[in-house]
Amino acid sequence: MGRFVFFLQEAVRALRRNGAPTLAAVVTTVVTVILLGVLIPIFQTTQAKSEQIRSELNIQVGLFDDATQPEITSLGTKLEAIPHVDSVSFISKSEALATLRSELKDKSIVEQLNTNPLPASYEVKADDAANLPGIRAAIMPTGADGKPQPISPIVNNIFDRQQASQQIEEVTSALKIVLTVMTALLIVASLMLVGNTIRLSIYTRRREVEVMRLVGATRWFIRWPFMIEGVVVGFVGGLVAILILWLGKLTVVDPLSNSFNFLAAQNNSTLSFPALVAILFAAAVLVSTIGSGITLRRFLKV
C-alpha cells in the first residue's frame, strides 16, 4: 500500500510539473470520448431505423379490376408458396383508397374523385429485404419469349421499393466505414497526444530514470508512476466527457425525443446509456494507460 501511495504521489507531482501538456491530453481525451459518445448512439439509431424501414419494404402486386374471386384466391396461394415470402395480405380497392386518404394532408383531393382509380392488390412481405428481388423475379418469371410474364393473368403490374432498399444498404455500409475510420483516428490521436504528454514528463526526468535503472530499479518500479499518469489523464478526461454527455442527454436529447422519432429511437437501442458510459469511461482510461506504456518503453532501454 505504501508503494502505491509513493507511485501516486510521483504521478501527481509530474502532472503538476507538466501542466500545459497534461491539460492538452485531458482535453483531447474529453473530445475523443464526447465524439465517440455521440457517434455510437447515432450509428445505433441509424442502424435501427434502417432495419425498421427494411422490414416495411414490400412488393405490391396490382390486380386487374375484372379479376374474379377464385382467381384472386389462386394467386394468393401461389404467392404464399414462393420461397422467402413471410406474409401475403390482400388489399381491396376500398382499403387502398382509405389508406391513401389517411396519408394525404389535403383530404379534398380524394373527395373530388368520382371513381376509385386504385387497384386491388396483394402486399407481399419478405422474411428479409434482401430477398425482395428474388421474390419479384418469381412473381414475374421469364417467359418463352424471353420477356417477364406474371404467374397469373390477373396481375396488372408490380411495384416495390427495390431502389430504396439498395440505397439503405449503401448508406448503412458507408456509415459503418465512416464510423470505423473516425473511431480509429480518434483513438490514434488520443494515444499520440497522451504519449507525448508522458514523453515530456519522462524527458524532464530522464536523468532520474537512468540513475534508477543503473542502481538496479526494476522497469516496472520506474514504469508505474508514468502509467498512473496515463490513468489519471484518462480518468479525468473520461469523467468530464461523460458529465458533458449526461447533461446533453438531459437537456437536449430527452426533451426533443417526443418531437423527433429519430431521437426517440435511441431509447430503444441495444446499448443503454449506462452501458455506453461504462464502455467510454473504460476506453478513456485504457487508451491513456496504453499511450503511457508505449511511450515509456524507449526510455527504459538503458
Dist CA 135 CA 150 (whole Å): 12
Instruction: Please state the φ and ψ torsions of residue 160, each to the nearest 5 degrees.
Output: -145, -170
Give the DSSP H/E element, type plus range, for residue 87: strand 85-91
240 and 263 belong to one structural domain:
yes
The boundaries of the domain holding residue 100 are: 58-160
Dist CA 139 CA 78 (whole Å): 9
pLDDT tens digits along 56-111? 778 888 998 888 899 989 999 999 999 989 889 999 888 888 877 777 776 666 66
Dist CA 264 CA 276 (whole Å): 17
11 and 74 belong to one structural domain:
no
pLDDT tens digits along 245-296? 888 877 876 666 665 555 555 555 556 777 777 887 787 777 777 766 666 6
Count of domains in the chain?
A: 2
Q: Which of 6, 1, 9, 11 is nearest to 292 (CA)?
A: 11
287 and 269 belong to one structural domain:
yes
Assign residue 150 a region (left: φ > 0; alpha: ψ between -120 and 50; beta: otherwise): beta
22 and 96 belong to one structural domain:
no
Domain boundary among 121, 140, 160: 160
Assess whether pLDDT exceeds 60 at residue 302: no
Domain boundary among 160, 195, 227: 160
Q: Which of 129, 6, 119, 134 is nearest to 60 (CA)?
A: 119
pLDDT tens digits along 137-159? 888 888 777 788 888 889 888 87
Q: Which of 68, 57, 69 is nearest to 124 (CA)?
A: 57
Domain boundary among 117, 144, 160: 160
More confident residue, 186 or 164: 186
Average pLDDT, the chain: 76
Cα-based angle 119, 123, 127 (whole degrees, multiple of 5): 165
More confident residue, 163 or 282: 282
26 and 136 belong to one structural domain:
no
295 and 234 belong to one structural domain:
yes
SS3 273: helix
What CATH number has the domain bearing residue 144? 3.30.70.3040
